């Protein structure tokens, strides 16, 4: 590829930053439409550039590296602002900027209503500035050519996540709920980033470089113990960013952000960064099966664990949030076991259908808010995200229902929608390499179908269970148009890597190491389809036949188990008890008794000591000539003694 | 060149010229007093930039004149600047005008003249410390910084200003006394106080180097402050006026770290090597301890003060990792801390002027009424918690990466535990940001606060610009300091 073509990648990263500058400088005069248009055009421009890069890659699939400048060069370590154009990075760029652009467009309509509902229209511009910043950081993450530039994007998206979760920073539980959720997300992610940083330090020591090519070329000769250390610390980073066990706790709270944020950052793109990292670093994982197993197990356990929690949620977005954690578990397991193509395939299809589901959920929320105001109950406390307040929206929001159905079935893994094919590839790989994890994933797939069936029924079927639901109406075209586009991709996305054709596999072969040819196993495919249909059918049996009540239909038959689902297995409470409380207490002890007590007394002791010695010394200067004479005489004697005997 | 017009002499003593002008002016003419002080500091900054340009062309010379003779001992008037010194002088002269701008309305009345005079006097001392290459000359400048700062705290400070000033004085003096003993000892051994001569003849006092390292090091460690010698710092910071805090955190603390680099490493190489793990250990304790204590603070300024203990812990860890990467990171981090913590103190001061309190509990939800201040505060906070893309990250990353792979420290635990400090920084800084700027506006009196005026924006903006610029393109600074760092490390590596 020519340098001119390679330079497009830089422009793709810079364009959204340009959007920020424009909106900062003249945004106030542009009005909402103008602000939204600038931001969307910036993201759309990045998408066009990504598309051009993809076309160029068709000619030169080996891609290339574009070095912009030296970031810093110290001792023997040089880190450049350099970018990597290959099939993997461009695939990610297409997803990020493509889904990103659609969500920008959707947000123009959504945020118009949201800023008014929340009573601060001035904040419209700020939202798009953050969103553009996110796109830039995420594109940097996936197009970086070394681990440190990747880390800039990695923490950059985390920062945007912080800002956007706390977008309505004065709202939420007690007025502080959203701000706390944002802080929690950042700090939990920092715990993960700690792991990634240590991995980077280890790589510097071992390989002397952070460039992907330099690191991967030396990986084969590296000591296995070292690689295990690097990859396991990296895994800690993955569990933070991609919300896996044990660091997943921030993602459900992150739903405090506006719904487009949940769709873009907390479902389609940012949270998949961990999956991308492991896929990109396959050369480090492949030589050490222990590390591969660790990643696979983390993914498999998370997939099942999060799916159980999704069963017990009533908030429409929380169900989707736990579903995201669960699906990320599928992807992490896939890249862990070396089925990187399957992992990326699922990443792409999931970006389509989960973005679709979140945005459609946003449309439902708008519909309910609209209905709530229409019903003349504008000031009553009302949670427009509580599925117990919904029902019967099928007739009131037909378009939203149609696209939601597509998304839900794709997620459940019903053939021939996108999710079926990508999930199937993961299951095939697992069945051959990790039979127990295969079992976990299959169970998770069953639960996925079940909780999506439950959600569909609670939201769209039956009769409206609140006045707001009764008066709900369909959203504006600006909101629904992106939904239709995403629905088409969710339906047809499987075509990317159809069995027999394997187009995605052949595309990614150029940038992923250790790609094994995928194959289609009828038994697994039929099994997973059966599991999906069984889950949906069972959901219909449990929820579809009678009107839902305040208590979930499963609460009685499952008893304490269901209580555990509802209460998220008490993980937050556990962390509070064993980590946050003791640490907070420790900080208090350090600040109080230790610092103000012990260490401070060192200093005050110094003061008193000098005062004491001063008092004592003062006695020497008593003004009496005879005592001075005595001192002089003692001195003279001592000097003589020294000269006579010692020398 | 005439010695009077040597760039380094001008940088050091130009503030005295401004001081003389101040004394001539009528004390009631506050406006011209302020402008004289501000312009003096701006010209001094211009001179520092000029010196930098000269240095980049290789045209910056040292100045060494015979000065005092004490028997067979000679004290020379020796000023010189390598990259590290230049960077510190740039930092000092950059922060001075901003600190003065911040006092525009905060300090008023008949004593304004004295306040400004002390500030200019302080600048003489600070620039001298970073430029002096004769130990006696250095010591004079070192002590010279103490006096104005004590008066600034004791006269313009808060309620417990006398206690804080006294504590600051006592701590510093304990260190200074031993430093003086150390200087006299090496001077008498070698017959000169000139640093190059001392380095060349360091074998003469090699036998006592551990004791000397400690004698020098105590003064520097108190100034840094290295844990557990820090307890003067929170009191001094909380009681000092805003501009005093900015200079205290931004420059005076750096003098301690600078002292270790300039004197302990080249003069006492073996002791530096041997004690490196101990120093790094105290540094890491400081990182974690400072963060923990900062987290528990209810007073905003105290929180920032303890965050300095944590941040300077990174600097000390970097210095005693004794690798080019870590030491360069540490030098950059000295600048970064001056910028981000200086800016944090400016912000605390700006809100204090509006609300007359620093209690975190008195704020909350300020973003809604103060969008400009909050946005700038966000960037500064992010710089302080080392978000990549901003300056703090480049410094901390290179410190930790260098220390992680440093043979002088022998194992990875120092850097590994230090990296935990990166998590803790997020905890206490985001808590701070949340308490002040996020959440609902609970206090009525906050509802009518005015956002930043032009002067205040001009005070913060230069810092914010540098925060971003250094984060993205720090290489010019590394190019400036790397030769100096490598020279010092080479001296520290030879027996």
Q: A610: which chain B residues are within 8 Å (Cβ-Cβ)?
A: 170
CA B377 to centroid of chain Cα atoms: 20
Q: Which pLDDT tens digit goes with each residue over A573-627?
A: 889 888 888 898 998 888 888 888 888 887 676 667 667 776 776 666 666 777 7
Tell me the per-residue pLDDT of A472-492, one tens digit each, with 9 for 90 and over: 888 888 889 999 999 999 999
ipTM: 0.93
Higher pLDDT: B19 or A553? It is B19
Task: Give this prediction's pTM.
Answer: 0.92
What pLDDT score does A411 carry? 95
- Does A500 score more than 90 pLDDT? no
Please tell me the distance from the alpha carbon of residue A186 to that of residue B433, in angstroms, as a whole number: 13
A24 at B interface, C-beta within 8 A: no
Identify which of A180, A186, A595 has the shortest CB distance to residue B426: A186
Residue A380 has a pLDDT of: 65
Q: Which residue of B has its CA nearest to A190?
A: B423
Asked whether the CA dihedral B409, B413, B415, B421 is positive or negative, the reply is negative
Q: For B227-281, how does the pLDDT look when each residue is reduced to its tens digit (9 = 90+)?
A: 889 989 999 999 999 999 999 999 999 999 999 999 999 999 999 999 999 999 9
User: What's the mean pLDDT when you consider all of chain B?
Assistant: 92
A590 Cα to chain B: minimum distance (Å):
6
E strands within A183-252? none
Q: Which residues on chain B are in Cβ contact (under 8 Å) with A159?
A: 382, 387
Q: Which residue has the tokens 């542009």?
A: A30
Q: Please report residues of A whose CB lies closer than 8 A to that of B367.
A: 169
Question: Regarding beta strands A64-74 and A77-85, do their DSSP bridges make them parallel or antiparallel, or are they unpaired?
Answer: antiparallel
Mean pLDDT (chain A) is 90
Q: How far is B342 from chain A (nearest CA, A)?
A: 23
**Confidence band for A377, pLDDT divided at 50, 70 and 90:** low
Question: Residue A391: what pLDDT?
Answer: 85
> To probe the interface with B, which of A17, A67, A70, A75 has the most B CB atoms within 10 Å?
A75
Judge contact between B289 and B348, C-beta under 8 A.
no
**Tokens found for residue A605:** 């002791």
Report d(CA A135, CA A96) in Å as an integer. Answer: 7
User: Is the CB of residue B493 less than 8 Å away from at least one CB of chain A?
Assistant: no
Residue B62 pLDDT = 87
What's the confidence (pLDDT) of residue B26?
83
Q: Given A170, A180, A198, which is nearest B368 (Cβ)?
A: A170
Confidence of residue A193 (pLDDT cuts 50, 70, 90): very high
B346-363 confidence digits (pLDDT tens): 999 999 989 989 999 999
Please tell me whether the peptide bond between B219 and the residue prior to it is cis, using omega within 30 degrees of 0.
no
Among the ranges given (A57-66, A253-262, A508-517, B126-135), the one the predictor scored with the smallest mean pLDDT: A508-517
B-contacting residues in A 140-159 (Cβ below 8 Å): 148, 151-152, 155-156, 159
Distance of residue A227 Cα from the nearest chain B Cα, in angstroms: 16
Using CA atoms, how far apart are residues A143 and A155, in angstroms rounded to an integer? 15
Q: A69 at the B interface (CB within 8 A)?
A: yes
Q: What is the DSSP letter of A541?
A: I
- Does any CB of chain B come closer than 8 Å to the CB of residue A201? yes
B478 in A contact zone (CB under 8 Å): yes
Amino acid A428: pLDDT: 94
pLDDT digits (tens, 9 = 90+) for A421-472: 999 999 999 999 999 999 999 999 999 999 999 999 999 998 888 888 888 8
CA angle (A377 as vertex; A375, A379 as ends), nearest 5: 150
Q: For chain A, say whether B362 makes contact (Cβ under 8 Å).
A: no
Q: Which of A302, A321, A582 is nearest to A444 (CA)?
A: A302
**How far, CA to CA in Å, does A39 sit from each of A77, A479, B233?**
37, 16, 46
A606:B388 CB<8 A = no
Rg (CA), chain B: 22
From its phi and psi, is residue A569 left (phi > 0), alpha (psi between -120 and 50) or beta? left
* pLDDT-above-70 percentage for chain A: 95
Q: What is the pLDDT of residues B434-482, one digit of tens each?
A: 999 999 998 888 888 889 999 999 999 999 999 999 999 999 999 999 9
Q: Check if B109 contacts A (Cβ < 8 Å).
A: no
Beta bridge mates, B75? B68
**CA of B3 to nearest chain A CA: how many angstroms apart?**
36
More confident site: A558 or B90: B90
Q: Is the pLDDT of residue A40 over 60?
A: yes
pLDDT of residue A275: 97
Question: CB-CB: which of A166, A204, A610 is closest to B170?
Answer: A610
Q: By CB neighbour count within 10 A (0-12 exposed, 13-18 middle, 19+ buried), where does B39 fall? A: middle
Cα–Cα distance measured from residue A80 to residue A148, given in angstroms and rounded to the nearest whole number:
9
Average pLDDT over residues B367-387: 94
Which tens digit of pLDDT belongs to each residue from B297-316? 999 999 999 999 999 999 99
Distance of residue A176 Cα from the nearest chain B Cα, in angstroms: 5
Nearest to B422 by CA among A270, A189, A230: A189
pLDDT at A420: 93
CA-to-CA distance for A562 and B240, rounded, in angstroms? 58
Residue A567: what pLDDT? 85
- The Cα B52–Cα B7 span in angstroms is 10
Domain boundaries, chain B: 268-495
- CA dist., res. A428 & res. A340, Å (int): 13
């Amino acid at each position: 590829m020519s340098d001119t073509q390679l330079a497009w990648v830089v422009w793709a990263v810079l364009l959204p930053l340009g959007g920020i500058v424009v909106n900062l400088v003249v945004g106030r005069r542009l009005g909402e439409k103008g602000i939204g248009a600038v931001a969307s055009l910036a993201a759309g421009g990045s998408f066009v550039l990504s598309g051009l890069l993809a076309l160029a890659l068709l000619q030169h699939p080996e891609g290339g590296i574009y070095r912009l400048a030296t970031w810093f060069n110290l001792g023997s370590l040089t880190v450049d602002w350099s970018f990597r154009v290959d099939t993997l990075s461009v695939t990610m760029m297409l997803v990020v900027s493509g889904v990103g652009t659609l969500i920008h467009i959707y947000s123009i309509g959504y945020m118009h209503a949201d800023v008014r509902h929340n009573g601060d229209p001035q904040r419209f511009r700020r939202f798009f500035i953050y969103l553009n910043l996110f796109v830039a950081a995420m594109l940097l993450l996936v197009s970086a050519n070394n681990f440190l530039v990747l880390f800039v994007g990695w923490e950059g998206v985390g920062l945007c996540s912080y800002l956007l979760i706390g977008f309505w920073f004065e709202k939420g539980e007690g007025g502080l709920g959203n701000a706390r959720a944002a802080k929690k997300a950042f700090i939990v992610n920092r715990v993960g980033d700690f792991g990634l940083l240590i991995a980077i330090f280890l790589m510097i020591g071992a390989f002397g470089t952070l460039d992907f090519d330099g690191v991967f070329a030396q990986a084969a000769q590296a000591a296995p113990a070292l690689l295990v250390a690097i990859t396991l610390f990296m895994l800690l980073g993955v569990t933070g960013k991609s919300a896996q066990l044990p660091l997943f706790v921030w993602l459900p709270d992150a739903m405090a952000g506006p719904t487009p944020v949940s769709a873009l950052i907390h479902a389609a793109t940012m949270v998949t960064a961990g999956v991308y990292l492991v896929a990109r670093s396959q050369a480090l994982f492949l030589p050490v099966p222990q590390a591969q197993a660790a990643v696979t197990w983390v993914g498999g356990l998370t997939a099942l664990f999060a799916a159980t929690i999704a069963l017990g949620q009533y908030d429409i977005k929380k169900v989707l949030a736990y579903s995201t954690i669960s699906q990320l578990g599928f992807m992490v397991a896939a890249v862990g076991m070396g089925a990187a193509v399957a992992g990326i395939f699922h990443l792409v299809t999931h970006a389509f259908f989960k973005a679709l589901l979140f945005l459609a959920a946003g449309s439902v929320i708008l519909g309910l808010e609209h209905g709530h105001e229409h019903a003349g109950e504008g000031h009553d406390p009302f949670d427009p995200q509580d599925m117990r307040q919904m029902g019967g929206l099928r007739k009131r929001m037909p378009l939203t229902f149609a696209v939601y159905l597509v998304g839900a079935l794709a997620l459940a893994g019903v053939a021939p929608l996108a999710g079926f094919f990508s999930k199937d590839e993961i299951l095939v790989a697992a069945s051959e390499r990790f039979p127990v994890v295969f079992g976990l994933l299959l169970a998770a797939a069953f639960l996925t179908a079940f909780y999506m069936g439950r959600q569909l029924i609670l939201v769209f079927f039956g009769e409206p269970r609140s006045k707001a639901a009764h008066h709900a109406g369909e959203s504006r075209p600006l909101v629904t148009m992106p939904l239709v586009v995403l629905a088409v991709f969710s339906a047809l996305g499987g075509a990317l890597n159809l069995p027999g054709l394997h187009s995605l596999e052949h595309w990614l072969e150029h940038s992923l190491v250790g790609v094994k040819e995928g194959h289609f196993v009828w038994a697994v495919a039929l099994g997973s389809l059966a599991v999906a249909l069984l889950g949906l059918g069972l959901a219909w049996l449990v929820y579809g036949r009678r009107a839902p009540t305040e208590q979930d239909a499963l609460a009685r038959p499952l008893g304490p188990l269901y209580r555990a689902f509802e209460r998220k297995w008490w993980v937050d409470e556990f962390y509070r008890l064993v980590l946050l409380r003791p640490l907070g207490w420790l900080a208090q002890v350090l600040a109080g008794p230790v610092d103000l007590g012990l260490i401070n007394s060192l200093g005050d002791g110094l003061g008193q000591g000098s005062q004491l010695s001063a008092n004592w010394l003062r006695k020497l200067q008593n003004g009496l000539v005879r005592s001075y004479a005595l001192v002089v005489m003692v001195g003279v004697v001592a000097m003589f003694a020294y000269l006579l005997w010692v020398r | 060149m005439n010695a009077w017009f040597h760039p380094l002499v001008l940088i050091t003593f130009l503030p005295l010229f401004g001081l003389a002008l101040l004394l001539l002016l009528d004390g009631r003419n506050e406006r011209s007093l302020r402008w004289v002080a501000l312009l003096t500091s701006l010209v001094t900054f211009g001179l520092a930039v000029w010196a930098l340009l000269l240095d980049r062309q290789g045209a910056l010379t040292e100045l060494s004149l015979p000065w005092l003779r004490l028997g067979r001992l000679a004290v020379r008037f020796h000023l010189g600047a390598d990259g590290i010194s230049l960077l510190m002088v740039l930092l000092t002269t950059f922060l001075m005008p901003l600190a003065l701008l911040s006092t525009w309305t905060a300090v008023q009345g008949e004593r304004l003249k004295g306040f400004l005079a002390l500030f200019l006097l302080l600048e003489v001392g600070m620039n001298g410390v970073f430029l002096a290459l004769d130990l006696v000359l250095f010591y004079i400048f070192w002590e010279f910084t103490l006096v104005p700062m004590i008066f600034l705290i004791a006269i313009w400070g808060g309620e417990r200003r006398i206690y804080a000033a006294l504590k600051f004085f006592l701590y510093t003096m304990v260190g200074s006394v031993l430093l003086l003993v150390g200087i006299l000892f090496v001077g008498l051994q070698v017959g000169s106080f000139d640093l190059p001569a001392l380095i060349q003849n360091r074998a003469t006092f090699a036998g006592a180097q551990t004791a000397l390292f400690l004698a020098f090091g105590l003064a520097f460690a108190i100034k840094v402050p290295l844990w557990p010698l820090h307890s003067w710092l929170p009191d001094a910071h909380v009681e000092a006026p805003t501009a005093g805090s900015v200079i205290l955190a931004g420059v005076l603390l750096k003098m301690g770290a600078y002292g270790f680099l300039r004197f302990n490493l080249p003069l006492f190489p073996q002791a530096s090597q041997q004690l490196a793990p101990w120093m790094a250990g105290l540094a890491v304790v400081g990182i974690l301890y400072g963060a923990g204590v900062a987290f528990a603070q209810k007073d905003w300024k105290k929180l920032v003060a303890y965050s300095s203990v944590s941040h300077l812990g990174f600097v000390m860890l970097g210095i005693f990792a004794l690798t080019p990467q870590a030491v360069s990171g540490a030098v950059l981090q000295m600048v970064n801390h001056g910028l981000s913590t200086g800016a944090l103190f400016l912000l605390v001061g700006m809100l204090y002027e509006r609300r007359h309190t620093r209690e975190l509990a008195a704020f909350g939800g300020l973003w809604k009424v103060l969008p400009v201040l909050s946005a700038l505060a966000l960037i500064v906070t992010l710089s302080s918690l080392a978000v990549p893309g901003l300056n703090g990250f480049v410094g901390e990353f290179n410190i930790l990466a260098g220390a992680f792979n440093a043979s002088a420290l022998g194992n990875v635990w120092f850097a590994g535990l230090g990296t935990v400090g990166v998590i803790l920084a997020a905890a206490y800084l985001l808590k701070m940001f949340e308490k002040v700027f996020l959440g609902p506006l609970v206090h009525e009196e906050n509802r009518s606060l005015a956002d930043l005026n032009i002067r205040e924006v001009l005070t913060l903006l230069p810092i914010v610009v540098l925060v971003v610029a250094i984060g993205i393109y720090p290489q010019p600074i590394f190019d400036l300091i790397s030769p100096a760092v490598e020279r010092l490390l080479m001296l520290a590596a030879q027996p």
